[in-house]
């Protein structure tokens, strides 16, 4: 063991990162540790989860062909697609990988949530507020019935 330097693992520092990776559907402790090791080290020790989300979002953005969105948006879209496509069980080590398995990127793009269409102003059709002819006789009957009920 001479010359081997083992860096102590700070379990409290890894816990938020492991919790974040669990939201992708990972449960195996070895997988969680392997994926956490792929994340770049950041000087931001105050918010390791935020730094990890940014790194994962930056990894997802070009993969999803969504270069024009922020890392936070890419993180949310990518995680949703990752979960809905069952990637954690099918390709557990694909997250943050340099070389992706065959079909992974296409499957991930298929799982992207579909956004709402943009609001479009429309003109409301002009409508009469009077009763239509088929209802006119029923309205007249109801009015007579109400008058009769009041007098009784």
Compare 134 and 71 and report the one with higher pLDDT: 71
DSSP-assigned letters across all residues of the chain: -TT---PPP-HHHHHHHHHHHHTTT---HHHHHHHHHHSPP-S--S-HHHHHHHHHHHHHHHHTT-TTS-HHHHHHHHHHHHHHTTHHHHSTT-TT-SSPPTTHHHHHHHTPPPPPPPP---PPPP---SPPHHHHHHHHHHHHHHHHHHH-
pLDDT of 10 higher than 90: no
pLDDT of 134 higher than 80: no
pLDDT of 132 higher than 70: no
In this prediction, residue 7 carries a pLDDT of 38
Q: What CA–CA distance (Å, rounded) separates 108 from 5? A: 39
Q: What CA–CA distance (Å, rounded) separates 39 from 42? A: 9
Q: Structure pTM?
A: 0.65
Domain ranges of the chain: 11-110
Contacts of 95-104 with CB under 8 Å at 24 or more apart are: 95/21, 95/24, 95/35, 95/38, 95/56, 95/59, 96/35, 96/38, 96/39, 96/55, 96/56, 96/59, 97/38, 100/63
Q: Is residue 44 within 8 Å of residue 55, measured between CB atoms?
A: no
In this prediction, residue 46 carries a pLDDT of 74
């Amino acid at each position: 063991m001479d010359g081997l330097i083992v860096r102590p693992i700070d379990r409290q520092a890894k816990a938020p990162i492991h919790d974040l990776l669990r939201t992708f559907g990972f449960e195996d402790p070895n997988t969680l540790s392997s994926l956490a090791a792929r994340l770049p080290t950041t000087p931001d020790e105050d918010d390791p989860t935020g730094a990890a989300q940014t790194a994962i979002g930056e990894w997802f953005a070009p993969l999803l062909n969504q270069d024009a969105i922020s890392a936070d948006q890419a993180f949310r879209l990518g995680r949703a697609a990752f979960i809905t496509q069952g990637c954690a069980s099918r390709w557990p080590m694909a997250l943050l990988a340099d070389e992706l398995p065959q079909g992974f990127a296409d499957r991930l793009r298929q799982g992207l949530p579909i956004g709402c269409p943009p609001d479009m102003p429309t003109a409301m059709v002009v409508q009469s507020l009077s009763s239509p002819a088929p209802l006119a006789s029923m309205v007249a009957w109801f009015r007579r019935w109400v008058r009769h009920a009041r007098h009784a």
